[in-house]
Amino acid sequence: MDISVVIPVYNEEASLNPLYERLKKTLQEINRSYEIIFIDDGSKDQSWRVLKHLKEKDENIKLIRFTRNFGQTAAISAGFEYAKGEIIVGMDADLQNDPGDIPHFLAKIEEGYDLVSGWRRHRKDTLLTRKLPSWIANWLISKITGVKLHDYGCSLKAYRSWVIKNIHLYGEMHRFIPALAKWCGASITEIEVRHHPRRFGQTKYGLSRTLKVILDLITVKFLLSYSTKPLHFFGIPGILSSLVGFLICSYLSLLKFFYHIQLSQRPLLLLGILLIFIGIQFISLGLLGELAIRIYHETQRKSIYVIKEIIE
């Protein structure tokens, strides 16, 4: 299998037929073996019936159906897990992405990139609730993860399958795939894609998504930088805090024992003790973290590296 296209579907009944027609046209022109995987994420409309109709006509279609709505990240993960193609293409079901762009993605992969991300340069969404928060989020994510992309939110992306098979997604992390892929050692690039206004159905997200993205960003940064060394992360502020607390307390002890000054009037004493305790807390947290990552890696047999090739 050469190409797997993975498409999450949640209440998109009206888009599915036109999407399939365009996708089929593009994929047939490329002239390589392909599969289209639709994941019905607990749709409440007729999406599943429409999908089953399509499946009857075309055996390149694979269908996965969830028992309820588990969210876009879960749907994408299920599709990725199932995909057998050497190249995996992800896109939305709502026709906002253009299937006609897929050949450009494949060309970039052919050039040697492991991950190609779409950039909706002329994005057709509302300014205040979608585009503005997205600009801020993209800037922040680029700064903090060090993977500079204009558009993390674009679902239209292509991956070599090894990249995807090395990434495990939780929560709403699909947006951070490029950052996680960088950890795997993938080479990443972006290309401009067309973007269309939503014609059918409704968007599933509101403004609250921005806050979630920022919280997720903290998780990703932690995972990428410190997940294998939590004691380094918590230990350094811990040591500094304890040290300052210790110095303060030593100074106050000097005053007390050599100059016989009363300490009951010195708020500095509280600060000193507080800092020592905060330091101990931080170090304990780091140690717990060390314990947690061992459990995490060993129970999941998750390795702390990704091998490109072995020559014996």
Binding site for Mg ion (CB under 5 A): 92, 94, 96
**Bridge partners, 38 (sequence order):** 7, 63
Q: Indicate which of Mg ion, ligand UDP, none lies near residue 156 (CB less than 5 to 8 Å, by partner kind).
A: none
Closest among 124, 63, 115, 69 to 94, alpha carbons compared: 124
Residue with tokens 């894609």: 193
8 binds ligand UDP (CB under 6 A): yes
100 binds ligand UDP (CB under 6 A): no
Q: Indicate which of Mg ion, ligand UDP, none lies near residue 89 (CB less than 5 to 8 Å, by partner kind).
A: none
Q: Report the C-alpha gap between 244 and 272 in whole angstroms.
A: 7
Q: Report the C-alpha gap between 77 and 39 in whole angstroms.
A: 10
User: Long-range contact list for 162-165, CB < 8 A, 24+ apart?
Assistant: 162/114, 163/114, 163/115, 164/80, 164/83, 164/88, 165/80
Q: Report the C-alpha gap between 54 and 67 in whole angstroms.
A: 20
**Residues 12, 13, 101, 114: which binds ligand UDP (CB under 6 A)?**
12
What angle in degrees, to the nearest 10, is found between the helix axes of 208-226 and 230-259? 80
**Residues 28, 203, 250, 284: which binds ligand UDP (CB under 6 A)?**
203
Q: Report the C-alpha gap between 82 and 205 in whole angstroms.
A: 26
What is the closest distance, in whole angstroms, from the C-beta atom of residue 91 to ligand UDP in the complex? Answer: 8
Q: Output 162 or 200, the one with its CB closest to Mg ion.
A: 200
**Residues 35, 94, 101, 216: which binds ligand UDP (CB under 6 A)?**
94
**Looking at 3-11, 174-182, 222-230, 250-258, which segment touches ligand UDP (CB under 6 A)?**
3-11
Q: Output 41 or 114, the one with its CB closest to ligand UDP.
A: 41
**Residues 41, 101, 151, 216: which binds ligand UDP (CB under 6 A)?**
41
Q: Output 92 or 114, the one with its CB closest to ligand UDP.
A: 92
Pairing of strands 87-90, 157-160: antiparallel
Q: Which of residues 165-194 bind ligand UDP (CB under 6 A)?
A: none
Q: Report the C-alpha gap between 198 and 202 in whole angstroms.
A: 8
What is the closest distance, in whole angstroms, from the C-beta atom of residue 58 to Mg ion in the complex? Answer: 24
Kindly list the residues in this chain that would bind ligand UDP in the complex (CB under 6 A): 8-10, 12, 41, 69, 71-72, 75, 92-94, 96, 203-205
